[in-house]
């Protein structure tokens, strides 16, 4: 990204863009004209399937208040019992906890660059797609990557985290 295009981004998205540059990621942060706060909104703005949105959901581990980040396909509801079986009993994370632990507001939580390193799980269903979009630190900002790039950036173990009907 050029210094001019970087400066045009919201401050939290600038931080993500710099992290991506440091990681050698070759795709820019994109600012959507409408919000990408939900997976459906982001997918509509990008012209992709909702399943291609890699949504970052933060939980609080009950035993030690550690942040738990589940990066899930946009169409999946996270099965909290499956996640708890892997990382320990979960508790809800309110907006303040999310901001304090990640440095991002709900709706813009990026899978990288957290204030406190989270316990992480990566939804196996994301690997059904060649291209994904993830939040870039702001409800209007996203970036494109492959499932393997996401796994490499986060170091998160791949797991079945989706509710199945």
The predicted pLDDT at position 38 comes to 84
95-114: average pLDDT: 95
* φ, ψ (nearest 5 deg) of residue 69: -105, 120
Q: Rounded distance, CA 102 to CA 78, Å?
A: 19
Domain 3-159, CATH: 3.90.960.10
**Nearest to 132, CA basis, from 58, 68, 46:** 46
Residue 2 has pLDDT above 90, yes or no: no
What residue has token string 């589940």? 70
- Indicate the helix (H) or strand (E) that contains 58: strand 53-61
Q: Radius of gyration over alpha carbons of the chain, in Å?
A: 15
Give the model's confidence band at 8: pLDDT under 50 very low, under 70 low, under 90 confident, else very high: confident
The predicted pLDDT at position 123 comes to 98
- Indicate the helix (H) or strand (E) that contains 30: strand 29-31
Tens of pLDDT, residue by residue over 122-162, are 999 999 999 999 999 998 999 999 999 999 999 999 999 99
Tens of pLDDT, residue by residue over 25-81, are 999 999 988 877 788 888 998 999 999 999 999 999 999 999 999 999 999 999 999
Q: Rounded distance, CA 83 to CA 96, Å?
A: 22
Domain ranges for the chain, please list them.
3-159
The predicted pLDDT at position 22 comes to 94
Q: 139 with 35: CB under 8 angstroms? A: yes
């Amino acid at each position: 990204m050029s210094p001019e295009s970087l400066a045009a981004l919201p401050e939290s998205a600038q931080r993500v863009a710099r992290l991506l540059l440091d990681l050698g990621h070759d795709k820019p942060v994109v600012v959507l004209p409408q919000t990408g706060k939900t997976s459906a909104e982001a997918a509509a703005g990008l012209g992709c399937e909702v399943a291609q949105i890699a949504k970052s959901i933060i939980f609080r581990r009950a035993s030690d208040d550690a942040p738990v980040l589940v990066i899930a396909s946009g169409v999946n509801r996270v099965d909290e019992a499956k996640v708890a079986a892997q990382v320990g009993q979960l508790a809800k994370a309110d907006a303040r906890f999310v901001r304090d632990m990640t440095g991002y507001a709900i709706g813009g939580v990026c899978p990288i660059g957290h204030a406190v390193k989270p316990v992480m799980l990566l939804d196996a269903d994301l690997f059904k797609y060649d291209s994904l979009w993830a939040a870039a630190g702001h409800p209007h900002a996203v970036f494109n990557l492959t499932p393997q790039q996401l796994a490499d950036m986060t170091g998160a173990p791949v797991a079945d985290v989706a509710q199945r009907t």
